[in-house]
Structure 1
Amino acid sequence: MSGQTASAVEAALRTIASPDLKAEVARFFFDGLGETEVLGVGIGKVFPVAKAHAGLPLGEIGRLLDSRFYEIRMAAAAIMDFQARARKSPNGLEALYRLYLDRHDRLDNWDLVDRAAPHVVGQYLFERPRLPLYELAESTDPWRRRTAIVATWYFIRAGQVEDTFAICAMLAGDGHVMVQKAIGSWVRTAGEKDPERLRAFLGEHGDRLSAEAIRMATEKMPPEERRIFRRKG
């Protein structure tokens, strides 16, 4: 497809960038920007640009991941997601999965992980051994640990919650707030499939979870039960 280049994606994003939005966009980058910069494109406006370039070749996605700009890397994550969801991906799911893991250092924020991990990583591993998720859970990098949790969304959707609870149990004492938030959100979602498993998880691991993770995990419980688990945490 014509125009399917990293340069075209960057040019499209620069066209809609506003310097006035830089501070607002930067707020979404959790650990501070460091060497990352922002263009000033609202994240919701990145996705239509990514969709318009959803046929991007793998090497060009890699070039987007090389960018120092947050929104450009978000476009890469979104393009990977669009391709993974497509029935006929131009790059193939395995290639996207390998790129995601090989370039995880560039997927260094919670929303970059959340955008691509379920369909790129979770979908690829759905009918394969899931050991890579447990290896990610043991990483010193919090975003890799978040991937280990977030990727299991694809399993939960299919009614499989074992890996979600197992990985969250491994990470229950994790000190990073965005890993704790992932635990809270994902065990709550898995608990919609298996409420008893959620109760058992909170009973066993609640004392290692953050208050925020427990609050998120119990959001859909009856008020009295919610209070019991929140006191435990």
Structure 2
Amino acid sequence: MNSSLGLAAELTDAVARLGAPETVPAKARFFQALPGGYAAGDKFLGVRVPQLRGLARRYRSQVTVDDAEELLLSEWHEVRLLGAILLVEMFSRADALAQRRIATLMLKRIERLNNWDLIDSSIPYTLGPWLYRNPAERHVLIELADDDLLWRRRAAVMATFAFIRAGEFGETLDLAAKLLGDPHDLIHKAVGWMLREVGARDRQVLDTFLDEHAPSMPRTMLRYAIEKHSPAERHEILMRKRK
């Protein structure tokens, strides 16, 4: 474990050396880390995502799940994001047992994935595929969607991207209906995005969902869902919302 902690510290130092302090204020605003924002108090180093992916490629043959978990515990946003990226790398090459361990870790540490970029870059490629291949565990989606923590609810929605890519839409549609009354804009955006992905693969499935739910959908959710519709179709669907 000491060597693992040593590598996590080395990676943290490597991220810090890539930092651009002059970009930190803009990042804090963009990710709503200022007082009153959904990520108030988060800390940034000013490192770009391509730089983090470069580090991940350089270290992926050395890093363990323990290393990645240590990175997720960091106070720095970009270090946590590196941990998430590395877990995706590991998951893609892991056997079934190791994939279960990674999926379990994602569930355990979702509170450390405390912004939309951290969720969206990891959950659809780790927890999502694992749940898809393990139907007996899919109750986790409902448990996450029922949680008070915003990031758990977003994780539930984004995990279903793995199901969508496999041509299964039921979980996404069920969660979309369940979360129609969610108060947070980040959930509206995530649900609308996943509905749009359903429609990209089967337009009739999406339109059937909209026929039932469009009038009660939050406007942001609805707009995201119908982005690929024609202007005339978008106008007609949005008119239903106004009635």
> TM-score by structure 2 length?
0.88
CA contact (8 A) 1:9 1:50 kept: no
Q: Map of 1:73-222 to 2, 5 A cutoff? A: 73-86=80-93, 88=94, 92-129=98-135, 130-222=138-230
CA contact (8 A) 1:25 1:42 kept: no
CA contact (8 A) 2:87 2:102 kept: yes
The amino acid across from 2:133 in the alignment is E
Superposition deviation, residue 24 in structure 1: 2.4
Looking at secondary structure, tell me which structure has more helix per residue. 2
Runs of 4+ in 1 over 6 A off after TM superposition: 1-4
CA contact (8 A) 2:4 2:66 kept: no
Call closer, same or farther: CA 1:126–1:62 in 2, change over 3 Å: same
Superposition deviation, residue 232 in structure 1: 2.0
Structure 2 counterpart of 1:57: 64
CA contact (8 A) 1:84 1:93 kept: yes
Q: Which moved more, 1:51-60 or 1:25-34?
A: 25-34
Q: What RMSD, in angstroms, separates the aligned Cα atoms of the two structures? A: 2.1
Q: Partners in 1 of 2:95 and 2:26 — Cα distance? A: 33
CA contact (8 A) 1:146 1:178 kept: yes
- What is the number of residues matched between the two proteins? 232
CA contact (8 A) 1:35 1:68 kept: no
Structure 2 counterpart of 1:9: 11
Q: Partners in 1 of 2:129 and 2:50 — Cα distance? A: 24
- 1:67 pairs with 2:69: no
Q: Say which SS state the counterpart of residue 111 (structure 1) adopts.
A: helix
> TM-score by structure 1 length?
0.92
Call closer, same or farther: CA 1:61–1:178 in 2, change over 3 Å: same
Call closer, same or farther: CA 1:105–1:2 in 2, change over 3 Å: closer
Q: Which moved more, 1:2-11 or 1:123-132?
A: 2-11
Superposition deviation, residue 22 in structure 1: 0.8
Q: Partners in 1 of 2:88 and 2:29 — Cα distance? A: 23
Deviation sequence 1:78-104 (CA, Å, 0-9, x none): 111111222x46981111111111111
Structure 2, gaps ≥5 residues long:
none
CA contact (8 A) 2:60 2:89 kept: yes
Structure 1, gaps ≥5 residues long:
none
Q: Partners in 2 of 1:2 and 1:121 — Cα distance? A: 23
Identity %: 31
Superposition deviation, residue 182 in structure 1: 0.5
Q: Map of 1:30-41 to 2, 5 A cutoff? A: 30=32, 31-41=37-47
The amino acid across from 1:43 in the alignment is V
